[in-house]
Amino acid sequence: MIKVENTIYIKAKRDRVFSVVSDFEAWPEFIPTYKEVKVIERKGDKIVIERKGSVGGREVLWKSEAELFPSERISSRQVIGPIPDMEIEWLFEDAGEGTRIRLIHSFSYKKPLLIGWVIGRLIVKNVVKGMAQKTLEAIKKKCIVKSEK
């Protein structure tokens, strides 16, 4: 199992940060990776999200099942996409005058043993880490702009 963790501090209250993150359909407005995001099913705090975007110049479709735990965490699993069964945890923690987000991706890269290990560890892990960091930075920028209004 490969685990990638990204962290960011945002000087905004936890409920505000959670609100920005969980407004998935607004992501294309401020996260360049995503061209379109739709919530295609909602049952209480359980949702199914479909995202279209671009990774390394290639069009990608993701579909995830997620459960929201308001202002605390979002747990999801990718069911369609480049890495099926990837698990994603968004953890929202009070940190001084703001909020710390811990974004954790856990996945297996199911290719032949040696090739899968090399590709998973050296390439895919770095791509996931880089995309996650850019997503967190875009969320931070959006939260700061939103809190200034």
Q: Region 76-89: what's the mean pLDDT?
A: 92
For residue 121, what pLDDT is reported? 63
Residue 35 CA from chain centroid, whole number: 15
Residue 137 CA from chain centroid, whole number: 12
CB-count burial class (<10 Å; 0-12, 13-18, 19+) for 19 = middle
Q: Are strands 73-80 and 46-55 parallel, antiparallel or unpaired?
A: unpaired
- The residues that bridge with 90 in the sheet, in sequence order, are 74, 103
The order of strands in the sheet holding 98-107 is: 2-10, 98-107, 87-95, 73-80, 58-69, 46-55, 34-43
Q: Are 46 and 36 in contact (CB under 8 A)?
A: no
User: Looking at 25-29, 50-54, 105-109, which range is the least confident one?
Assistant: 105-109
Q: Token pair of 51, please?
A: 């995202």
Q: Is the entire prediction scored with pTM above 0.85?
A: yes
Model pLDDT for residues 43-78, shown as the tens digit of each residue: 999 999 999 998 888 899 999 999 999 999 999 999
Q: Are 91 and 50 in contact (CB under 8 A)?
A: no
- The torsion of the CA quartet 35, 141, 16, 133, rounded to 10 degrees, works out to 70
Model pLDDT for residues 109-147, shown as the tens digit of each residue: 665 555 555 655 667 788 889 999 999 999 999 998 655
Q: Region 89-94: what's the mean pLDDT?
A: 98
CA distances (Å), origin 112, targets 2, 87, 119, 120, 125: 15, 21, 10, 11, 17
